[in-house]
Homo-oligomer: A and B are copies of this chain.
Amino acid sequence: MRPLHAVIMAGGSGTRFWPASRAARPKQFLPLADGKPLIQATVDRLSGLCDPAHLWIVTNPLQARALPKVLPGFPKEQIIVEPEARDTAPCVALAVATIAERDPDALMAVLPADHVIEPLHEFHRMLRRGLDIAQDDQTLVTFGIEPTFPATGYGYVECGGPLDDKQPAATRCKRFREKPDRATAEQFLAAGTFLWNSGIFVWSVRGITRAIAAGHPGLAACTEKMRAAIARNNRSLVTRTFKQTPKTSVDYAVMEKAPSVAVVRATVRWDDVGSFPALASVGAHDDAHNVSLLANGASQINFQSQQNIVYAEGKRTVALFGVQGLVVVAVGDAVLVCPKDKAADLKALVEHVRAQGRTDLL
C-alpha cells in the first residue's frame, strides 16, 4: 500500500471571528469542536488513516509560533512555514515539494484546518474512495458537498459524467466556480449538478506534479526548485523560490487545467463554521433560542433575551438582559457586540479597527 501524507492547510487571517480570532489565533485555533480547537479535531480526524509522522501543517510564521500551545506535542519538523502569504497554489507547491522529496510515491490529502466534519467513519470512507481514484497518478480528486441553500460564500464544482463503472459516487469535474453572486448560486442550486467545493483534495505526488506542470510551468519550475532546495536543506533558497511563485489559487492554476479531475460526493456532515451565526451548528442552545459557545470557565446568564449568540472564553460571565438577535463576544482583552446580521461583515469592523490604529487588537 502506498504511503499517505496529509497536509492541513492552516492559514486564515482571523477576521470572521474577531475578536475571538486574531492574526496569531485564527479560527482553527478556536475551541469550536466540542471545546477542542478545530485544528486539533482535524488532526484527530486523520488518526487511523494516516501515519502521524506523515501529517503536515502548512501555516504562516505567526501562527506557527502559536501552534505548540494549541497542538502540544505536534512535531515541529512537520510544520511547513509559508515564508509569506501568497495564495493556495504556492502553498500546495511547497507541500508537494516537501513530500515529494521524502516520499515521491506518496498519495496526498490536502485539508482545511478549520472545518467541522462528521461522522468519522464516513469521512474515512470518503477519503479512501478518493485515494483509490488518485492511485492512477493522474486524477486529482476533489470532494463536493451537496448544497442546501444558494450559498454565496462558497466555491462550487460542477459535476460532469460518471468517472467509470468502478466509482459510482464519483463524477468527472466539469468546472470550478468561484464564490457566485446570489442569482448564480440559485441557478447552481436549481441545476442540481453543482456541489460546494469542500476544499479537500486528494491526489498522488506524481499526479499533482504532472498537473502543475500542465497547468502552470512556472509554478512547476518553482516546485522542483523548492524540492531540490529542501533536499539540500537550503532554507533560504526555499524562501527565495517561494517568493517567486505566482500568486494564484490551486483551483485556477492547476485544477481547472488538469486533464483528469474527479468529484467525490461527500457523505459527511460538513460545516465550515464561517462566522458567529454558524455557531448555531456547534454551540449549546437554550429554550429561548440563544446559542452559546463557552470555553475555559466562561459562563452565561440569559434573562428576558432571545435568539442571541454568545461566545466567551476564560473565567468570565456574559449576562444578557432584554436583548434579541445579538452576537456578544468576550475573549481576552476584547468585547464585541453586534447584531447577527452584521456578523458576516466583521471584516469591515476589523478594517475600521485597523484604520483606528488599533493593530494591537488584530
Q: Which of B320, B334, B341, B353 contacts A337 (CB 8 A)?
A: B320
Q: Which of B323, B334, B349, B356 contacts A326 (CB 8 A)?
A: B323
Quick check: which of A57-65, A183-191, A310-318 contacts chain B, the rest being far away? A310-318
Within 8 A of B (CB), among A213-255: none
Q: Is A301 an interface residue (CB 8 A)?
A: yes
Q: Which of B303, B315, B349 contacts A321 (CB 8 A)?
A: B349
A286-309: contact bitstring with B at CB < 8 Å (1 yes, 0 no)? 000000000000010101100000
B349 touches A335 (CB 8 A): no
Beta-carbon nearest neighbor of A303 in chain B: B352
A352 touches B301 (CB 8 A): yes
Number of residues in A with C-beta < 8 Å to the partner?
35
| Closest CB in chain B relative to A295 CB, distance in Å | 15
Given A334-B316, A356-B301, A323 and B349 contact (CB-CB distance below 8 Å): no
List, in ascending order, chain B residues with CB within 8 A of A339's CB. 322-323
| Closest CB in chain B relative to A268 CB, distance in Å | 33
Q: Is A19 an interface residue (CB 8 A)?
A: yes
List, in ascending order, chain B residues with CB within 8 A of A346's CB. 321
Q: Is A71 an interface residue (CB 8 A)?
A: no
Q: Which of B316, B320, B353 contacts A301 (CB 8 A)?
A: B353
CA distance in complex: A342, B320 (Å): 11
| Closest CB in chain B relative to A143 CB, distance in Å | 35
Given A323-B326, A330-B330, A358-B301, A335 and B318 contact (CB-CB distance below 8 Å): yes
Q: Is A49 an interface residue (CB 8 A)?
A: no
A317 touches B337 (CB 8 A): no
List, in ascending order, chain B residues with CB within 8 A of A334's CB. 316-319
**Residues in A lying within 8 Å of B, measured CB to CB:** 19, 299, 301, 303-304, 312, 315-323, 326, 328, 330, 333-339, 341-342, 346, 348-349, 352-353, 356, 358, 361
The contact sample of 13 A-B pairs, CB cut-off 8 A, is A19-B317, A301-B353, A304-B342, A315-B333, A317-B361, A318-B334, A319-B335, A319-B349, A319-B361, A321-B338, A323-B326, A330-B330, A335-B335
